[in-house]
Structure formats: C-alpha cells, structure tokens
Structure 1
Amino acid sequence: MWVFSALKGIGKFLIELVGEAVGEVILTLFAFALLGGLVLVAHLSWSFSPRLTIAGAGVLSLFLAHGAWQTFRTPTKGRRRGFAALTATVFTVTAGTAVFLFFYTSGCGCL
C-alpha cells in the first residue's frame, strides 16, 4: 500500500510543478507583452508628435502625482470622491503594474 501512496504523492508533486511552471510562463509572457505594448505606444506617439508626447507625459505625471498624494496623505473625515478617488485608483493600478513588470521582466536576463 505504501507504493500507491508514494506514487500518488509523486503525481501530486509533478502536477503542482507543471502548474507552477505554466503559470510562470504565462505571467512572464504577459509582462513582456505589457512592456512591449508600452514601448510601442511611446514610439508611435513620439513619431506622431514629440511635443504632444512630452505634454501628455507631463499631464500623466501630474495626474499620478495627485493620485500618490491622495493615497499617502493622512486621511480626512469622509471618503474620497470624484477626481481624488479616480487619481488614487489610477495611481494604485499603475504602481501595481510597475511592480509586476519589475519582478517579471528583470528576471529574464535579456535587458
């Protein structure tokens, strides 16, 4: 009977190992696709109009800075509404995406 339990344990280990490997490959491909898309958007916008690209980057930087300020400042009474909630949410999603890209694209050895 111990042979069957050992084989069952080995089977579970192999299924978990393959599942983790497939998950890692999917996350890595998603990270590279996201990074490639960001580079493509930057390249296309620069080739269309460098001035608008710089102006858009400045507006986006101000938008994210306001979101960071709303996220990390001491909370006031009540809850965030409207523009403050929007900028805080966009900042949080952008920060999460940046951390994701940092961890999954820095481990490839190709950069």
Structure 2
Amino acid sequence: MGVRRAAKGVGDFLVEMVGEFVLEAVLVLLACVLLGCLVLLAHLSWSFSPSLTVAGTGLLCLFLAHGARQVRTPAKGRRRGLAALAAAGFTLTAVTALFLLLYATGCDCL
C-alpha cells in the first residue's frame, strides 16, 4: 500500500509541475504578444503623425489621471458617466501594467 501511495504522490507532483510549467509558458507568450502589439501600435502611430501621437498620449494620460483620482477618492454615491469609465480605464491599465511587469520581463524577444 505504501508504494502505491508514493507512486500516486509522485505522479500527482509531476502532473502539477508540468501544468505549472505550461501555464507559465503560456502567460509569458501572452505577455510577449501584448508587449509586441503595444510597441507596434506606438510605432505605427508615430509613423503616421508624431504630433497626433503626442497629443493623443497626453489626452490618454489626463484621462487615466482622472480615473486614478476617481479610484482613490470616490465621490459620495455612485460614479456615473465619464468618472466610471475613467476609473475602469485606469484599473484596466494598472492591471495590464502589472501583468507585463511580472511576465514580460522574461520575454527575450525584444
């Protein structure tokens, strides 16, 4: 009975280890693709019009700053309209940045 239990434990460990390795590889690949798409978007935008790229980046920064303020100090009651959209945009951007920070650092494609 002890040998079967030990063999089952080793098998479970190997399955878990391979699963974690595959999941880690998929997450790094996803981060590399996302980072590549962001770089491609910036390159295409800059090649189309540098002044519009700077203006659009400035507007995006203002929008995200407004969202950060709404997340940090919510108004009484419910958020509506632009404030809710800005808070959701800031949260999505922060989560994406954290994901890229954790997984794109292992991307050797750049």
TM-score range, shorter chain: over 0.9
Deviations 1:2-58 (A, max 9, x none): 111111000100000000000000000000100000000000000011011011101
Per-residue CA deviations over 1:61-93 (Å, capped at 9, x if unaligned) read: 0110000010112x3321101110000000000
**One-letter identity of the residue aligned with 2:84:** A
Separation (CA, whole Å) in 2 of partners of 1:76 and 1:45: 36
Counterpart-to-counterpart distance in 2, 1:40 and 1:108: 16
Determine what percentage of the aligned residue pairs are the same residue: 64
Aligned residues: 110
2:15 is matched with 15
- Matched with 1:99 is 98
Q: TM-score, normalization: structure 2?
A: 0.94
Unaligned runs of 5+ in 2: none
TM norm structure 1: 0.94
Contact residue 31 and residue 100 of structure 2 kept, 8 A: yes
Unaligned runs of 5+ in 1: none
> Which of structure 1's runs of 4+ aligned residues deviate more than 6 A?
none
Rounded to whole Å, the distance in 2 between the matches of 1:52 and 1:76 is 33
